[in-house]
Amino acid sequence: MSDTNTRMMFGKVALVTGAGRGIGAEIAKMMAARGAKVVVNDLGGSATGEGSDLAPAEQVVQEIKAGGGEAVTNGDSVADSAGAKRMVEQAIDEFGQLDCIVNNAGILRDVIFHKMTEDDFDAVINVHLKGSFNTSSAAAPIFRKQLSGSFVHMTSTSGLIGNFGQANYAAAKLGIVGLSKSIALDMSRFQVRSNCISPFAWSRLIGTIPTDDPAQAERVAKIKQMTPAHIAPLAVFLCSEQAEDVSGQIFAVRKNEIFLMGQSRPIRSVHREDGWTPETVAEHAIPAMKSSFYGLDRSADVFSWDAI
């Protein structure tokens, strides 16, 4: 690997949310290893969003410093717009600039839909979707003024494809796709980029998968091979100047695989010169299009082969 590649984030300042553990921690550490100064944000709450603890973020900062990098800790919640502004202000105060944000912070409140409470829904939306908006909104004026900047948002195949018991999470993660595309469109004139990553990785957020039978145990063993460290290279690249022509895209990373994911486009159409009635929709439109309907697929149905 050349010196140019190993220092591809040199001179950059990055804010990584949810960076005290898992994917966020690996991204923050790789950012620093490639030369970036990093604001390591993590509220340090539980997987379901309760409580707070600065220790995980502080540990990542110490690891970065031990490796010769520069980093500071931030314990604000992305769900709080004032907290998001403080993160951005801290980057400016500590390092004099801000060049990229990785919106990684997240929680889970998995429950089958008919038992999901309003609090279950709001808590997940507030961290994932509103949190991504809060940090992006706080940074947007800075990126606009300096005519540069990169956003990387974490989406999920739970939203892109589907999964059981995750209506709140799926809604948030698919909402993030729309948010990212809108940012990419609105801020392209200022050379600001926005992309999504859908990560497959073992973390504490999925660490509660039961292993009661051999099939489940085998599945979990395979998932554990998809470590958070596999996600970091793409995130670092997307924040670098080498990704200057990459914006508005959705990628998925699964172990050593990188996928470019599709975006919604028309796949079939029907037309009646005299217009439609509910009856002709039933008789003509739906039968004509039905062979192209999507099934009730889950992520595991589409990604049906073992990670490579």
Tens-digit pLDDT profile for residues 146-165:
999 999 999 999 999 999 99
**Mean pLDDT, rounded, for 33-40:** 98
Which of these ranges, 134-143, 248-257, 299-308, has the smallest mean pLDDT? 299-308
Candidates 57, 54, 196; CA nearest to 128 is 196
Nearest to 43, CA basis, from 126, 136, 151? 126
- Span 11-35, average pLDDT: 97
The tokens of 122 are what?
């709001």
Domains and CATH numbers, the chain: 3-260 (3.40.50.720)
**CA 195 to centroid of chain Cα atoms:** 9
- Give pLDDT, residue 3: 42
pLDDT recorded at residue 111 = 95
Residues annotated as catalytic (active site), given as ranges: 169
Q: Which of 129, 17, 118, 37 is nearest to 77 (CA)?
A: 17
Q: Is residue 78 over pLDDT 50?
A: yes
Q: Are strands 13-16 and 37-41 parallel, antiparallel or unpaired?
A: parallel
Residue at token pair 């998968």: 209
Average pLDDT rounded to a whole number, residues 195-201 = 94
